Amino acid sequence: MAHRVLVSDPISEIGVALLNDHPDIEADFNTGLSPEELIAIIGDYEGLVVRSQTKVTPEVLAAAKSLKVIGRAGVGVDNIDKEAANQHGVIVMNTPTGNTISTAEHAFTLMLSAARNIAPGHASVLAGEFAAGRKANQGIELNGKRLAVIGMGRIGTEFVKRAQAFNMTVVAFDPYLTQSRADELKVELADTPDAALTGADVVTLHVPLTDDTKGIINAERLALMNKGALVVNCARGGLVDEAALKAAIDSGHIAGCGLDVFENEPPAADHPLLSLNKFVAFTPHLGASTAEAQENVGIQVAEQVRDFLATGEIRNAINMPSLDAAAREAIGPYLDLSASLGKLLAKLGLSNPDALRVSYHGPFAKKDTALISRTVLTNFLESSRCDGQVNIVNAPGIAAQMGLELVESTINAQTEYNELLVVELRKGEERFRLAGTLIGSSPRIVEIDRLYVDTNIRGHFLIVRNDDRPGIVGAVGTTLGNEKVNIANLSLARNKTQGNALTVIEVDEPLSPEIMAQVRAIPGVTLGTGVSL
C-alpha cells in the first residue's frame, strides 16, 4: 500500500510532484485546514508536510494514529509540539539550509529600510506628500555603526558578511560560537547578551524561540544600546518584548525597528507598534518567501519525507540522529544485531529492571552508538510491553517514564572478538547480560548470561537451562523429534563449577505451548524458553 502524505501548507509544486512521482507515495495537497479539519483527516496519513501555518498540536498528534514523519519546509519548528511528537514516536525533520540566504537578505533589507525610512517615504510619495515626506524622513547611515548579532548560526553568519561589506563593526553573542570561529568571521565575541548590546547601534536576532530566548530583547537590554539604535527581528516574534520596544521608541532612546515576525501573527490592527511612522519597516513573515527559497525547501522536504517513508533514511531530523543511505547500509548489520539482543533481553532477562546498560568493546565505538543503543532499547521495550506503541523516537521517553535508565559505555579492554556489543539489565545487585558480535558481516549472539554460545540472530529458538549431566540434551532432542520439530542448529555451553548448562536450539518453526510444557517437564531442565527473533 502506498504511503499517504498530507501537504497542509503551500510548498512549491515541484516538491509536491517529487512526492507523487514516487510509486510508493501518494500525496494530498490540502491547505488552509482548520484545526478540527486537520484532526478529522490526519489519521489517514503517514507523512505530514508543513510550513509555519499548520499548528501541529498535541491534539493533532493524538489523532495522527499512522503518522511517522513531519517534514517542515523551513527552519523554525515552533509550530510543532516536539514533546508530543516524541511521545507519539513521530520523527520531525526540517530543511535547515534552504532559506538561509533569502532570510539573511530579508533581515538586511529590514535594517536598511528602517534606517532609511523606505516604508514611510514610499507612503508619502503615494499620498502625494512628496515634499513633506522628504522633510520628515531623514535617515541614518550604517557605515561605521556597531552591530550586535544575537545568534551566529546560518542566517546570522550570512547577515554579518553583508554588514561587513557595509563597513559595520560586529559583536556577536551565541553560546555555541567559539573564539576561533569568531576570529575567522572577524567578529567580536560577547559572552553575554548584555555585553553584545552595550553600545550597539543595531541589534539583529537570528536565534530560535525557546524558553531561553523568549523576551531576550527586553527593556533593560534596550537601555544598554546607544541612543537612536534600531532593532531588527527576522527570526521569531516573542524574542523581542514588544511592549518594551514600543516604550523605548516612544521615549526616544530607540529610533525604530524592522520586524518580519510578531508575537501573535497576524498582529492585531491596533497593535501599538503598528502606529509608528518613522524608522520603521514591517513585513508579514516574508523572510523565506522567495522563489529560490521556496523551491529549495519544497524540494528538500519532499525528498526527505519520501526517502524516510520509502527507505527509512533519516535526514535533518530534530528528534533523531541522522542516518543517510550509506551510513544505514554500513550500520545495518549492527542494527539487526542490536534489535535481536533487545528482543532476547526482554524474553530472558530480569523483570522491572532499573537500568539497561549497552557497552561497546572494540572499534564499535567509532559507529553511531546512539542509534545502536536506541535500537536495543526500542526492541527491549517493544517486546516487554507488547502494546505496539514503542518506536525509535519515543523509546527514551517511555524508558524514562518507567524509571529505566539507559546507560552507554565504551570499554577499551580486549575481548576474544574484534568487536563485542554487551547488553545488560540491572536490578539492584542483580545482572543479566547478552553479547553479540559480527563474524565477517554476519551478526551472531555469542553470550547468554556469561555462557558462551554461537547462534543466529534471526529464527525460532528453544533456549534451555539445565543441570550439567548426561542425557538431558538427548531428552530435549527426542521430545522435539517426537513432535516433528526439525532442528536447524544447536549450540551448547556449560559452567562446570556451577554444574549447569545452556542449550540454544534453532528450530524450523515456532514452538507451541504444549511442546514447551513437555520440554520444561524433562527432569534436569531448570528453564525452557521459546523465542522467535
**Which residues are marked as active site?**
236, 265, 285
Determine the interface stretch with ligand 3PG among 22-30, 249-257, 287-295, 493-501 (rule: CB under 6 A). 287-295
* Peptide bond before residue 266 is cis, with ω within 30 degrees of 0: yes
Instruction: Count CB-CB contacts under 10 A for residue 211.
Output: 5
Among residues 153, 397, 459, 477, the one that binds ligand NAD under rule CB under 6 A = 153
Using the rule CB under 6 A, is 191 a contact of ligand NAD?
A: no
Dihedral pair phi/psi, residue 15, rounded to 5°? -65, -45
Q: Do strands 3-7 and 47-50 pair parallel, antiparallel, or not at all (unpaired)?
A: parallel
Determine the interface stretch with ligand NAD among 9-17, 230-238, 389-397, 498-506 (rule: CB under 6 A). 230-238
Using the rule CB under 6 A, is 100 a contact of ligand 3PG?
A: no
- For ligand NAD, the closer of residues 294 and 369 by Cβ is 294
Rounded to whole angstroms, what are the CA distances from 428 to 187, 346, 353?
A: 53, 17, 8
- For ligand 3PG, the closer of residues 201 and 242 by Cβ is 242
Dihedral pair phi/psi, residue 57, rounded to 5°? -90, 170
Using the rule CB under 6 A, is 153 a contact of ligand 3PG?
A: no
Using the rule CB under 6 A, is 152 a contact of ligand NAD?
A: yes
Residue entry with cell 554487551: 422
User: Do residues 232 and 200 make contact, with C-beta atoms less than 8 angstroms apart?
Assistant: no
Using the rule CB under 6 A, is 76 a contact of ligand 3PG?
A: yes
- For ligand 3PG, the closer of residues 281 and 421 by Cβ is 281
User: Do residues 432 and 502 make contact, with C-beta atoms less than 8 angstroms apart?
Assistant: no
Residue entry with cell 505530514: 48
Query: Which of 423, 425, 434, 377 is CA-nearest to residue 401?
Result: 377
Identify the bridge partners of residue 505 per DSSP, sorted by sequence position.
Answer: 462, 490
Among residues 15, 120, 133, 156, the one that binds ligand NAD under rule CB under 6 A = 156
In the list ligand NAD, ligand 3PG, none, the entry touching 51 (Cβ below 5 to 8 angstroms by class) is ligand 3PG
Determine the interface stretch with ligand 3PG among 67-75, 247-255, 421-429, 510-518 (rule: CB under 6 A). 67-75
Q: Give helix 472-482 / helix 513-520 axis angle, nearest 10°.
A: 150
In the list ligand 3PG, ligand NAD, none, the entry touching 206 (Cβ below 5 to 8 angstroms by class) is ligand NAD
User: Do residues 181 and 215 make contact, with C-beta atoms less than 8 angstroms apart?
Assistant: no
Give the span between the Cα atoms of 146 and 141, in whole angstroms. 11
Using the rule CB under 6 A, is 304 a contact of ligand 3PG?
A: no
Q: Which residue is nearest to ligand 3PG (CB)?
A: 74
Q: Give helix 291-311 / helix 325-348 axis angle, nearest 10°.
A: 40
Using the rule CB under 6 A, is 109 a contact of ligand NAD?
A: no
At closest approach, how far in Å is the CB of 293 from ligand NAD? 8
- For ligand NAD, the closer of residues 288 and 422 by Cβ is 288
Determine the interface stretch with ligand NAD among 99-107, 306-314, 338-346, 522-530 (rule: CB under 6 A). 99-107
User: Do residues 487 and 507 make contact, with C-beta atoms less than 8 angstroms apart?
Assistant: yes
At closest approach, how far in Å is the CB of 78 from ligand 3PG? 8
Q: Is 6 helix (H, G, I), strand (E, B) or coil?
A: strand
Using the rule CB under 6 A, is 235 a contact of ligand NAD?
A: yes
Give the span between the Cα atoms of 242 and 218, in whole angstroms. 8
Give the span between the Cα atoms of 337 and 81, in whole angstroms. 33
Among residues 15, 71, 74, 267, the one that binds ligand 3PG under rule CB under 6 A = 74
Residue entry with cell 553573542: 173
Q: Which residues ranging from 264 to 303 are in contact with ligand NAD (CB under 6 A)?
A: 285, 287-288
In the list ligand NAD, ligand 3PG, none, the entry touching 55 (Cβ below 5 to 8 angstroms by class) is none
Q: Which residues ranging from 197 to 216 are in contact with ligand NAD (CB under 6 A)?
A: 206-208, 212-213
User: Do residues 93 and 317 make contact, with C-beta atoms less than 8 angstroms apart?
Assistant: yes
Q: What is the DSSP string of 200-214?
A: -SEEEE-----TTTT
Binding site for ligand NAD (CB under 6 A): 74-76, 96, 99-100, 103, 150-156, 173-176, 206-208, 212-213, 234-236, 260-261, 285, 287-288
Binding site for ligand 3PG (CB under 6 A): 51-52, 73-76, 99, 285, 287-289
